[in-house]
Structures are given as structure tokens and as C-alpha cells.
Homo-oligomer: A and B are copies of this chain.
Amino acid sequence: MRVYLAGPEVFLPDALEVAAAKKRVCAAHGLEGVFPLDPPPAAAPADRPYWMRIYLGNEAHIRSCGALIANLTPFRGPSADAGTVYELGFMRALGRPVAGYSNLAADFLDRTRAFLGGQARPRADGGWEDADAMGLEDFGLADNLMIDGGIAAAGGVFERQDSPGDRWRDLAAFERCCAWIARR
């Protein structure tokens, strides 16, 4: 089973070392990890811009995989990395198993309130809103309900923990996702 390893680790200076570590965890569970920076199954046309060749390569990777594990640790804001979220939705629409993990355990509401700081204000109905009067989701979830919902609809797991170490390299929650896919 090929498993697409979605996540913002592609932005790390040691992305390939992190990729190798994730692939070792996959292999220990009988899975083949596929990292976004791996050579794609089919090369994108050379006349497309560099960023578009990356996009097409990642899309081809996802289509070639039987499952996806998303690193949904919050990235530059209350939610997960946008590219990772896009890929999660893409794989869910293909009808294949998806799982996710976050190395920050706090609920989405608490993280969004912390992000907004003094700009978060209570609503008369007991909820919260931002400076534009836009409401804050309050469902006890890890992120926007489309993310938690997509994983739940696929029957997947969303593993959350407060990583005691380096939140971009701690693979304990990731490994629980691998174990779930291997058990299916």
C-alpha cells in the first residue's frame, strides 16, 4: 500500500531527512511512504512553470497512492497548512482512506482565540467572533469542521497530542496513523 505523506515538512531545511524518517515508520508497518518531493510517477511537461510542475507531480503522487496521512499541525495561523488541507480534500473525493495528526492538542476554538488575542470578542449567544464579526467554530474539533469531518467520513483517525519534543519532527502521532492504515 502506497501512502501519500501530506504535510508542511516540505518547507523544512532537512525535509529529505524527515521524509526518510517517515518512510522508515511506514515500512515498519508494511506501508510505502510517498513524499511530495519524491520524483513523480509521470514527469510534468517541461514547458510548464516550476510551481505548476510541482503541483502536477503532487496530484499524480496522490492519484497513485491508496491512502493519505496528513500532518495537520497548525501552520502560520490557527489551521493546518493550506496545501496539506487541499490534498486531504482531494484524496477524500477519490474515496480512499485518509488520516491526520497534529502535534498540538488544543481545540480549534482555543487556538483561534489565542491567535486573535484581543480581537476575539464574545457574542450575545455565548459564542465568539472576530473583529469582522465572523463567528468562531466551537465544536471541540481539531480544526475547521471540513477537515475533521472529511477524516471522519472516510472512517479515519485524527491523532492529536502535545508533542513533548520538536513538533515538526515528532512522529509518535504519525505512527499511530500508520498503524491504523496497516490494520485496515
Contact = CB atoms under 8 A, between A and B. Distances in A.
Interface of A: 8, 11-13, 49-52, 54-56, 58-59, 76-83, 85-94, 112, 115-116, 129-130, 132-137, 139, 141, 143-150, 152-153, 168
**Copies, count:** 2
6 contacts: A49-B139, A51-B148, A55-B145, A83-B144, A85-B89, A86-B144
Contacts of A134: 8, 11-12, 168
A118 to B, nearest CB: 14
A143 B82 contact: yes
A87 B146 contact: yes
B152 A55 contact: yes
Contacts of A93: 89-94
